[in-house]
């Protein structure tokens, strides 16, 4: 049994394998030729490896950024990092996490079939992290590690991962110019909020991507060039503040600190280029392949994919969102120090991916102003909400890390608070959550039919 669980977790937590299998299933359902099925499956697999490889390059280049930042400011505290906190939690909650994840995937597919929310969540590591957080909270609420926790946790996770892509889809249509893919990331609540902020307070006529650049600086229109130059300036300033002694002794293995900073900036830009190539490969294969699943298993369903999938649509918003998010997170940290609370140190990786996405969502509805406001609001959420989830994480609240994204922080805190009322509170809360989703689905269906009837009568 344990070996089967380990195999399941290994497959499901690897997006490349999971999505390749989904693509293969879609192609088989369409009765494609064997050669076409093999080609589509392999290209999807390779595309996701390219995408995750690019994301890994970005994360690696941001690690020295974070270390220089912490050394320069001499601060200690809790750093939100999904990878770090899950790595600690899986040692104790590994089997429970795997079973919750399995039930959650089944619930997601079931709800996608029977409700108006036709989104199949395909970001494996996000599902694993969500399962782990759910296991930690339910066990900390004294529900144990048995069947009740597994079923409740799976229903909670599967429902959450079905409905959160629906929150962002109106904005995804604006970003991508279509309705073929959805957002499958655990920052969806924050991204939808950023999109709303842009809609309410922004100006969609002035997009981040329409910045006027003089002809003499036309080379800056190339995203690789502009990203390398901008990140080079940031890295060099940070390296100077941290000092050559710290950088050369602890980070660069003796390489000159300015040269090291430039290489890291170039590495960041290279990671961005790799991500873009991976996105192109995935979209070229997964969308056509997914039509088989949409036609046969879950009609009209859409794949919910990881956050870098939207980066090519607004590269300027990516950088603007990241810097705004990180600055707001840093200012929030200083306020926490002044207030004497637990200090949440801004996690550079979290602020990059979530801040960039929030900037893109805000820009889609409110242009440059929307990108700034959206990234600011999302940053405030991921900077302050960790203070509220820490108390419900049991022994993990004493660690130096915690969960980083809004879809962990908001639902996780609410679930943990319900745990204070015992199993009755947990069961009641999850049942109400599922009922709310079913009711919302019914409302969406009725509105959609009414609109179709109106459009038909007008024609």
Q: What is the mean pLDDT of the chain?
A: 85
Q: How many domains does the chain have?
A: 1
**Band of residue 396 on the pLDDT scale cut at 50, 70, 90:** low
Domain of residue 8: give its range: 2-447
pLDDT in tens, 324-382: 999 999 999 999 989 988 888 888 888 888 999 999 999 999 999 999 999 999 999 99
Q: How far apart are CA 122 and CA 118, in angstroms?
A: 13
Closest to 162 (Cα-Cα) out of 130, 198, 196: 130
- For the cut 60, the answer to whether the pLDDT of residue 158 exceeds it is yes
- For the cut 70, the answer to whether the pLDDT of residue 103 exceeds it is yes
Residues above pLDDT 70, as percent of the chain: 91
- For the cut 90, the answer to whether the pLDDT of residue 436 exceeds it is yes
Position 430 scores a pLDDT of: 94
pTM listed for this prediction: 0.84
Contacts for 130 with CB less than 8 Å, ≥ 6 apart:
104, 157, 160, 161, 186, 407, 408
Position 289 scores a pLDDT of: 77
Position 58 scores a pLDDT of: 79
DSSP 419-458: HTTHHHHHHHHHHHHHHHHHHHHHHHHHHHHHHHHHHHHH
Lowest mean pLDDT among 69-83, 193-207, 213-227, 268-282: 213-227
Position 8 scores a pLDDT of: 66
**Band of residue 218 on the pLDDT scale cut at 50, 70, 90:** low
């Amino acid at each position: 049994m344990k070996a089967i669980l380990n195999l399941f977790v290994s497959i499901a937590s690897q997006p490349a394998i999971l999505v390749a299998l989904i693509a293969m299933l879609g192609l088989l359902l369409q009765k494609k030729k064997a050669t076409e099925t093999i080609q589509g499956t392999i290209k999807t697999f390779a595309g996701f490896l390219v995408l995750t490889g690019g994301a890994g390059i970005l994360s690696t280049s941001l690690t020295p950024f974070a270390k220089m930042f912490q050394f320069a400011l001499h601060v200690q505290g809790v750093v939100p990092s999904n990878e770090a906190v899950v790595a600690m939690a899986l040692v104790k909650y590994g089997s429970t996490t795997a079973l919750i994840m399995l039930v959650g995937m089944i619930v997601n597919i079931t709800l996608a079939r029977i409700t108006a929310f036709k989104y199949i969540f395909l970001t494996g590591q996000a599902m694993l992290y969500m399962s782990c957080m759910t296991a930690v909270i339910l066990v900390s609420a004294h529900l144990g590690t048995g069947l009740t926790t597994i079923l409740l946790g799976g229903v909670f996770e599967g429902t959450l991962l079905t409905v959160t892509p629906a929150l962002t889809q109106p904005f995804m249509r604006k970003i991508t110019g279509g309705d073929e893919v959805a957002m499958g990331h655990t920052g969806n609540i924050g991204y939808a909020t950023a999109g709303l902020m842009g809609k309410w307070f922004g100006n969609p006529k002035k997009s981040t991507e329409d910045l006027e650049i003089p002809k003499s600086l036309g080379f800056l229109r190339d995203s690789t060039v502009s990203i390398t130059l901008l990140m080079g300036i940031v890295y060099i300033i940070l390296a100077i503040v941290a000092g050559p002694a710290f950088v050369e002794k602890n980070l660069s293995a003796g390489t000159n600190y300015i040269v090291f900073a430039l290489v890291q900036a170039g590495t960041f830009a290279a990671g961005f280029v790799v991500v873009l190539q991976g996105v192109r490969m995935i979209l070229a294969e997964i969308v056509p392949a997914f039509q088989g699943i949409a036609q046969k298993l879950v009609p009209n369903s859409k794949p919910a994919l990881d956050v870098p999938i939207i980066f090519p649509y607004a590269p300027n918003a990516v950088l603007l969102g990241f810097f705004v998010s990180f600055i707001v997170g840093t200012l929030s940290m200083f306020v926490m120090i002044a207030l004497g609370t637990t200090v949440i140190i801004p996690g550079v990786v979290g602020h990059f991916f979530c801040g960039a996405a929030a900037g893109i969502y805000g820009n889609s509805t409110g242009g440059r102003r929307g990108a700034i406001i959206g990234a600011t609001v999302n940053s405030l959420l991921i900077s302050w909400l960790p203070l509220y989830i820490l108390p419900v994480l049991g022994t993990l609240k004493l660690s130096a890390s915690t969960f980083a994204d809004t879809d962990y922080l908001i639902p996780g805190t609410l679930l943990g608070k319900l745990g204070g009322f015992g199993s009755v509170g947990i069961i009641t809360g999850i049942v109400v959550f599922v009922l709310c989703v079913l009711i919302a689905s019914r409302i969406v269906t009725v509105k959609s039919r009414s609109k179709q009837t109106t459009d038909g009568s007008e024609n």
